[in-house]
Amino acid sequence: MVISQFDTLKKLHEYYSVNNGCGLKKIATQPVYEIHTPSSGIVFIGEAPGKNEDLEGEPFVGSAGQLLDEMLKDIEFTRKDVYVSNVVKYRPPNNREPSDDEKKSCRVWLNAELLFIKPKVIVPLGRHALERFVQGAKISTCHGLAFSHPSNIPIFAMYHPAAALYNPSLKSVLKDDFIKLKKFLDSGCKIYKVEVIKSKNTDPAKEKAVKDILNL
Ligand code: URA
């Protein structure tokens, strides 16, 4: 599939909603995605939709989304300025974590979105999204840091907002990381008091995905 054949994100999502092998498709209410391109160039990537997202067809509309909005407001952004997506596009039953198979079957879809949007920075929210871009990285030690990626799109790691809902002491950590993200953007995504660790890509499937992103 050639990304340039899609002239809107809506058409891209409609294509991949049909052409994906995710087992959750049969049990979820609908796929969950956004259709506007972000003026800020910031793309947040969560784990998988929850109950509210499954019902509404839009990412981060529940309590984690409200916290995300609050954090964005602190750095003078609104949801309309950014793009929000997920590693897996369908709700796993009972909000369980997505399986490796589910992540794998939604991978091309996420790649296609990124190729279409050409983000300025990718912000993985939590472990599942971080692993997708920076192999072997641990969210507890990597949050608030920027990582280089072979696509030349910086990866800025953050805790998932849901983690701060379960563990309120993480809320101030998340807030600080949003301020660091703002400084990172204001510096033109030049490294500003944040560490850069080169991510390794050894798995051929991962190398292929990276090559796809390199074609941006
Ligand atoms: N959590 C996620 O990871 N994604 C959503 O869309 C909502 C909650």
Whether the per-residue pLDDT at 62 is higher than 70: the answer is yes
Q: Would the CB of 47 count as within 6 Å of ligand 1? A: yes
Question: What is the position in ligand 1's atom list of the atom closest to the CA of 128?
Answer: 3
Output the CA 215–ligand 1 centroid distance in Å.
28
pLDDT of residue 193: 38
pLDDT tens, position by position, 131-187: 999 988 999 999 999 998 888 899 999 999 999 999 999 999 999 999 999 999 999
Q: How confident is the model at residue 87 (pLDDT cuts 50, 70, 90)?
A: very high
Worst-scoring range by mean pLDDT, 13-17, 161-165, 211-215? 211-215
| Of the candidates 149, 151, 160, 141, the residue with the CA atom closest to the CA atom of residue 196 | 149
Does position 117 have pLDDT exceeding 50, yes or no? Answer: yes
The residue to mutate among 53, 96, 102, 106, having the most atoms of ligand 1 within 8 angstroms of its beta carbon, is 53
83 φ/ψ angles, rounded to the nearest 5 degrees:
-120, 140
Q: Lowest-confidence range among 37-41, 61-65, 132-136, 194-198?
A: 194-198
The dotted CATH code for 23-214 is 3.40.470.10
Average pLDDT over all residues of the chain: 90
Q: Is 85 in the pocket of ligand 1 (CB under 6 A)?
A: no
Ligand 1 near 38 CB (within 6 A): no
How high is the pLDDT of residue 216? Answer: 44
Confidence of residue 196 (pLDDT cuts 50, 70, 90): very low
Q: What is the pLDDT of residue 2?
A: 73
* Across 49-68, average pLDDT: 98
Residue 205 has pLDDT above 90, yes or no: no
Rounded average pLDDT over 86-102: 97
Contact 87, 47 (CB under 8 A): yes
> Residue 90 pLDDT > 90, yes or no?
yes
Q: How confident is the model at residue 203, as a pLDDT? A: 61
Ligand 1 pocket check for 31: Cβ under 6 Å = no
